[in-house]
Chains A and B, each alone.
Chain A
């Protein structure tokens, strides 16, 4: 049976951060700001703006302060930013951020390679951020990477994902976004992983962040929706390749997601045409073709 779907889904737009961070070409600050401003006009309620990480590690996000200060912050829209540690958190708040995100992982090896410490140590760093955020009334979103597979460890146990998610939720993250970082998940593994996580974290606090590297994203998202998840991350124009598979795609395209949700009669508040126009803008600026099939199809009719 297909089951009932949520009546509304919150779409979290990660293009300006996750998308641009994983694009080959570095985008000038005014283009980033314009992208975010255009996204703000589409009806999206959450737009991940940038990352307060050292530019030594992520040069694409070196202009985080200018971006944060340069964008139009529309009322009713949240502009979360990544903050890997206390220093990043403080810089983000100083630049005007009102919501932050922290990134955990369900894989020890991925955590080692990515941020040079163990999962336990990374959670300790986040705890500092959580404390400071609590004092300043700043909501924190938690991400768990590698929930359906890891480029280093291979298979990841659903129990491990549940354990890390539970820890981050208990620390105070208001929402946990479960990321299929290399896009290897299928509806089967998605179901199994969510069943385990939902024993520890209420479904209302869960989001899915699916990558389309193997073309499975929308099918995986469909299963998540059937299980009651009502927050979905996506990237306009499918920005952001996969750093672990050269030439392959990464994030699922927001346009394709919204098209599916519209067809299911699920309310998102997002104007698909305005979204496509925004995708066209950023693809022109990046001198690349869109990864959104909806955009590809509509532009030619």
Chain B
């Protein structure tokens, strides 16, 4: 930039710009008539899967009281988000942050048209989730043997067997199951992960009945280069419409990776309000990509999401105050002078 004289102080404040919504654009009403060739390769609609209340809060230092969790989810339900991952039916011995899973499940408002999936690592968790009112569940596989062993104490093959029990029961009860594949672009223990391995695990999950496979860059080490290679391998085995990406922003690569995935036709993106959820493998580093920042990019691209960015920012502001932490969303930081809504 050039010189910045004191005349700057008299320029329009960002509060003013925000009120005029110059940059925080409304979601487009219709597809742009002059679709740029680059943009015409992009999906017209992206489904955003909000993982803040589960993946986000599970990886925050502070344990959040049940009523705050419920309020967060209720606020998110009003933003237009089509899917909000609510909680995890895992033993509270392993994940104390999600110990209140039943109360949360029963306490939230269920908005029509919004899905509220929950994690269920095994049959026991599945039954518990259904009893508490869940109508969609998720299972978590990994493309790395070491990660599988360290994370859930069994091999990939054994974990697949456990998930098969879940998908069998789920099929009998007409409950959709989403499959996650962790370490899709790298593993904190093994380092490099081979794209074919990701494709193999994804195929197993898809074949057993998962309606969607979310490919997770668990430690955020991926770049557009590795994202492309991995997706090329997976797309040989799984239809594009059944794929999602779950990018972490630990190395600042998330939006570039998401853009790459969208350019290849992926139309489902996971993200976390306010970028909740640090990285458990790199102390102090960030984790999930912020929903606000993803929405800003999608709005700018003229891609429909049905989600109101301002409403998400308000929910982000609420949970950051409750957690007494600064937002990880750059859009939120830029939009409010001190990172808090006035």
Contacts and interface: CB of A to CB of B under 8 A. Distances in A.
Given A259-B223, A293-B251, A249 B38 contact: no
Interface in A1-45: 1-2, 18, 21-22
Contacts of B173: none
Interface residues of B, number: 61
Interface of A: 1-2, 18, 21-22, 51, 53, 57-58, 82, 84, 103, 105, 113-116, 143, 145, 149, 151-152, 154-155, 179, 181, 183-189, 191-192, 195, 212-216, 218-219, 221-223, 226-227, 242-249, 253, 256, 259-260, 262-265, 292-294, 296-301
Given A188-B300, A219-B256, A53 B3 contact: yes
Given A155-B22, A189-B300, A219-B259, 4 more contacts: A57-B3, A151-B11, A214-B330, A248-B333
A154 to B, nearest CB: 5
A293 B260 contact: no
18 contacts: A58-B4, A114-B3, A114-B5, A151-B11, A152-B12, A155-B22, A186-B296, A188-B39, A188-B301, A214-B334, A215-B330, A249-B334, A259-B251, A260-B223, A263-B253, A293-B249, A293-B251, A293-B252
A188 B330 contact: no
Contacts of B62: none
B298 to A, nearest CB: 8
A98 to B, nearest CB: 21
A241 B92 CA distance: 42
Contacts of B283: 300
Given A188-B36, A247-B337, A115 B2 contact: yes
A113 B7 contact: yes
B30 interface: no
B211 interface: no
Contact of A195 (B17, B36, B223, B255): B36
A247 B333 contact: yes
A158 B7 CA distance: 26
Contacts of A116: 5, 7
B251 A294 contact: yes
B251 A264 contact: no
B2 A215 contact: no
Contact of B331 (A214, A218, A256): A214
Nearest to B303: A188
Contact of A212 (B22, B222, B330): B330
A216 B297 contact: yes
A145 B1 contact: yes
B39 A191 contact: yes
A263 B224 CA distance: 7
Most chain B CB atoms below 10 A, which of A116, A184, A219, A256? A219
Given A22-B1, A260-B253, A293-B252, A215 B296 contact: yes
B45 interface: no
B8 A243 contact: yes
Contacts of A149: 22-23
B334 A248 contact: yes
A114 B282 CA distance: 42
A239 B299 CA distance: 28
Contact of A223 (B11, B259, B284, B302): B259
Given A215-B255, A300-B282, A184 B39 contact: no
A129 B57 CA distance: 56
A263 B222 contact: yes
A263 B225 contact: yes
B85 interface: no
A225 B333 CA distance: 27
B264 interface: yes
B225 A265 contact: yes
Given A184-B23, A243-B8, A219 B334 contact: no
A114 B334 contact: no
Given A247-B333, A260-B223, A297 B285 contact: yes
Interface in B219-246: 220, 222-226, 228
A234 to B, nearest CB: 11
B11 A113 contact: yes
Interface string B277-317: 00101111110001001001101111000000000000000
B223 A145 contact: no
Nearest to B299: A186
Interface in B6-43: 7-8, 11-12, 14, 17, 20, 22-23, 36, 38-39, 41
B8 A187 contact: no
B250 interface: yes
A194 to B, nearest CB: 10
B128 interface: no
A84 B2 contact: yes
A105 B1 CA distance: 9
B252 A253 contact: yes
Contact of B297 (A57, A187, A195): A187
Contacts of A253: 252
Contacts of B259: 187, 219, 222-223
B301 A264 contact: no
Nearest to B335: A245
Contacts of A246: 14, 337-338
B87 interface: no
Given A247-B337, A293-B249, A293-B250, A216 B296 contact: yes
Contacts of B155: none
Nearest to A266: B225
B14 A245 contact: yes
Contacts of B255: 215-216, 218-219
Nearest to B334: A248
Nearest to A209: B1
